Amino acid sequence: MLKKTVQGLMALTATVLITVGAQARDIRFDVFALGGASTLFDVERFDSAGRLYDARYQYGPKFSIGVAVPYGKLLSIETAYSGGPNNLFLTNLNVFPHAPVEYPVNIHMGTLSAVFHAPFTFHHWRPYAEGGIEYDRFSPTTEAIQTAKNVGFGPINTANLTYNNKFGVNVGLGLDRKIMKRLTFRIDLRDHITGSPAYGLPPEATLDSAATFPVSGHANNVQYTAGFLVHLGKL
């Protein structure tokens, strides 16, 4: 499902490219690769079987690859894939000392965004703002699934974790600096906003599952990366 979504985003970008090329007669691709890290803000406290639990995520490395299609001097449309871990830690607050249980989680993001560049530079740096839509997959690793089965999740001795797919939006700011005619250095800060993932666990016990994860609200995955754009085609 995620693969098809990313492919769909790429196909949409190609369609935009054809339209831009027909109108502007100046076809250009920018391909980019960025690396860095992210912090996932989705702190939850919940009660399960009379015990209080704290659920939070660890920061983790992130990378992004993508294609951007310029439209004039101030606007570009880009599609990208970003991925990396943000592990979930679950802590029983009724037990001292607190000993969190780690559930490794990989997060995959396919995005389609509009990037608005400022009409000026400051000391050779050009600021930009961006916003767009995305489709994310929160995917527990084999280790996390096994931990949930062996150790449990909360007070339950066994739990079946699975992936969560979420639609969301992203907004951000950044800086570009031209290094050579066909090479630009970028610093990027983005907030990827989706609903809180529950990994297939219901908010209340059911006939199929005694394990629960009563979370709600939004997850903010703040990604801070830097890297390079290569300008291809006609400049």
Cross-strand bridge partners of residue 76: 70, 115
Confidence of residue 21 (pLDDT cuts 50, 70, 90): very low
What does DSSP assign to residue 235?
A: -
Q: Which of 23, 93, 30, 85 is nearest to 60 (CA)?
A: 85
The pLDDT value recorded for residue 103 is 96
Which range has the top average pLDDT, 3-17, 145-159, 181-195? 181-195
Q: What domains appear along the chain, each with residue ranges and CATH number? A: 2-233 (2.40.160.20)
d(CA 166, CA 68): 24
The pLDDT value recorded for residue 167 is 96
Q: Which uninterrupted H or E stretch holds 153?
A: none
Q: What is the β-pairing status of strands 88-92 and 51-57? A: antiparallel
Q: Tell me the per-residue pLDDT of 132-176, one tens digit each, with 9 for 90 and over.
A: 999 999 999 999 999 999 988 877 778 899 999 999 999 999 999
Percentage of the chain surpassing pLDDT 90?
A: 65
Mean of pLDDT values over 105-123: 96
Question: Of 39-43, 102-106, 113-117, 154-158, which range is least confident?
Answer: 154-158
pTM for the structure as a whole: 0.85
- Give the number of other Cβ atoms within 10 Å of residue 132's Cβ: 21
Q: Which of 157, 150, 151, 168 is nearest to 110 (CA)?
A: 168
d(CA 161, CA 146): 9
Q: Tell me the per-residue pLDDT of 90-111, one tens digit each, with 9 for 90 and over.
A: 998 887 887 899 999 999 999 9
Q: What is the β-pairing status of strands 218-233 and 28-41? A: antiparallel
Peptide bond preceding 97 in cis form (omega within 30 of 0) = yes
d(CA 10, CA 81): 10
